[in-house]
């Protein structure tokens, strides 16, 4: 007798998406606190180092043995998804690329993932999903419009922001293509964090040293970044990628700019604007359009790498 396949509860994806967007936007809070008394490269070094060290005993004792090939793959993704992605934007801001422009480019990750999903994963987006993706990008633009300026940074610094966004998008779809997200999340995240920490150590050392400031705000910021913006956020992101298509998962990232502004309003008293609510409404509608409607068209898939159900073992 064939047992019926287990179907996830209809609220599973909305709850997971909400957790992802809240935790994705939470990095603003930790960076805001920690960078008040330290260079951003030093903040990123301690964020990734502490995250990796906390996970290390669990990665060694719980889960399958990590082979050399799997180790090298995860190290490569650590370079791409942590060092180049986070460090690239930090470098751009350090070169005086306006923060609003950096945030706008970083939040276009879903558009890049949607564009890469078809040639690399064979995931064909429907016209409805492409419309939703475009509306998500429009909502981000509306939210960011008031803070946008081009600044006077060197030309290469602007290219760094675009390259960082594209690296993260490419790494995401390649993980789906290669099946590397099937490694237990705590093991993969540990390797990625420690790999990025070694590279951020070189950058922070070049900028002045690795000693953290003895400051309560720095400590709170690092704790926030480790527990919420790394463990929780990356954990939810990788679990979501196992269960859903890369384009669908990434689409909720469009909601991070307005949610970030809500964080700023709640914790730092920064004002809200009508543009934020308009952008939020447009983005919510776009994200709704990208969500599965219960049927999968020919050539389209929402589960697992290369159209196969994700292996959660």
> Cα dist. 285→135, 156, 246, 257, 288 in Å?
7, 35, 19, 15, 5
Contacts of 224 (CB under 8 A, 6+ apart): 26, 29, 30, 33
Q: What is the mean pLDDT of residues 61-77?
A: 90
Q: Per-residue confidence at 182, pLDDT binned at 50, 70, 90?
A: low
Report the C-alpha gap between 272 and 144 in whole angstroms. Answer: 12
Q: Would you list the DSSP string of 247-301?
A: HHHHHGGGGHHHHHHHHHHHHH-PPP-HHHHHHHHHHHHHHHHHS--S---TT--
Question: What pLDDT is recorded for position 216?
Answer: 86
Query: Does residue 294 have a pLDDT over 60?
Result: no
Q: What is the mean pLDDT of residues 287-305?
A: 48
For the chain, helix (H) and strand (E) counts, in that order, are 15, 0
Residue 271 phi/psi, 5-degree rounding, is: -70, 150
Angle at 92 between CA 89 and CA 94, to 5 degrees: 110
Tell me which of 195 and 146 has the higher pLDDT.
Answer: 195
Mean pLDDT of all residues belonging to the chain: 79
Tell me which of 53 and 4 has the higher pLDDT.
Answer: 53
Q: What is the mean pLDDT of residues 154-168?
A: 86
- Contact status, residue 105 vs residue 140, Cβ threshold 8 Å: no
Tell me which of 207 and 194 has the higher pLDDT.
Answer: 194
Tell me which of 290 and 235 has the higher pLDDT.
Answer: 235
Question: What pLDDT is recorded for position 119?
Answer: 77
Question: What pLDDT is recorded for position 4?
Answer: 46
pLDDT tens-digit series, residues 200-248: 999 998 878 899 888 888 999 999 999 998 999 988 988 888 888 777 7
Contacts of 156 (CB under 8 A, 6+ apart): none
Report the C-alpha gap between 127 and 101 in whole angstroms. Answer: 28
Q: Per-residue confidence at 149, pLDDT binned at 50, 70, 90?
A: low
- Alpha-helix runs per DSSP H in 122-254: 127-144, 155-178, 185-207, 216-224, 233-243, 246-251
Contacts of 113 (CB under 8 A, 6+ apart): 169, 172, 173, 246, 247, 250
User: Furthest-apart CA pair in the chain: how many Å?
Assistant: 68
Query: Does residue 93 have a pLDDT over 50?
Result: yes
- Poorest-pLDDT segment among 18-22, 100-104, 135-139, 256-260: 100-104
pLDDT tens-digit series, residues 126-135: 788 788 888 8
Tell me which of 282 and 122 has the higher pLDDT.
Answer: 282
Question: What pLDDT is recorded for position 199?
Answer: 95
Cα Rg of the chain (Å, integer): 19
Question: What pLDDT is recorded for position 311?
Answer: 28
Single pTM value for the model: 0.78
Q: What is the mean pLDDT of residues 98-125?
A: 77
Q: What is the mean pLDDT of residues 247-257?
A: 80
Report the C-alpha gap between 162 and 158 in whole angstroms. Answer: 7
């Amino acid at each position: 007798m064939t047992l019926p396949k287990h179907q996830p509860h209809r609220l599973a994806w909305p709850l997971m998406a909400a957790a992802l967007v809240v935790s994705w936007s939470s990095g603003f809070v930790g960076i805001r606190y920690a960078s008040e008394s330290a260079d951003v490269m030093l903040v990123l070094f301690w964020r990734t180092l502490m995250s990796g060290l906390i996970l290390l005993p669990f990665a060694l004792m719980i889960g399958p043995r990590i082979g050399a090939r799997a180790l090298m793959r995860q190290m490569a993704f650590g370079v791409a998804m942590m060092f180049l992605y986070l460090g690239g934007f930090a470098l751009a801001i350090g070169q005086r690329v306006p923060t609003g422009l950096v945030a706008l480019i970083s939040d276009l990750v879903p558009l890049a993932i949607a564009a890469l999903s078809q040639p690399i994963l064979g995931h064909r987006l429907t016209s409805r999903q492409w419309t939703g993706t475009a509306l998500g990008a429009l909502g981000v633009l509306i939210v960011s419009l008031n803070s946008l300026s081009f600044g006077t940074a060197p030309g290469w610094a602007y290219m760094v922001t675009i390259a960082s966004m594209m690296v993260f998008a490419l790494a995401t779809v390649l993980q789906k293509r290669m099946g590397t997200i099937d490694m237990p999340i705590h093991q993969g995240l540990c390797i990625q964090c420690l790999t990025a920490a070694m590279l951020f150590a070189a950058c922070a050392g070049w900028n002045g040293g690795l000693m953290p400031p003895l400051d309560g705000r720095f400590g709170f910021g690092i704790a926030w970044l480790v527990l919420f913006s790394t463990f929780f956020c990356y954990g939810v992101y990788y679990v979501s990628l196992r269960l859903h298509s890369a384009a669908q998962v990434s689409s909720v990232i469009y909601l991070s700019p307005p949610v970030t502004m809500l964080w700023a309003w709640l914790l730092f008293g920064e004002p809200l604007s009508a543009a934020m609510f308009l952008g939020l409404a447009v983005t919510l509608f776009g994200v709704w359009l990208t969500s599965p409607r219960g049927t999968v068209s020919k050539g389209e898939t929402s589960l697992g790498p290369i159209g196969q159900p994700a292996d959660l073992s």
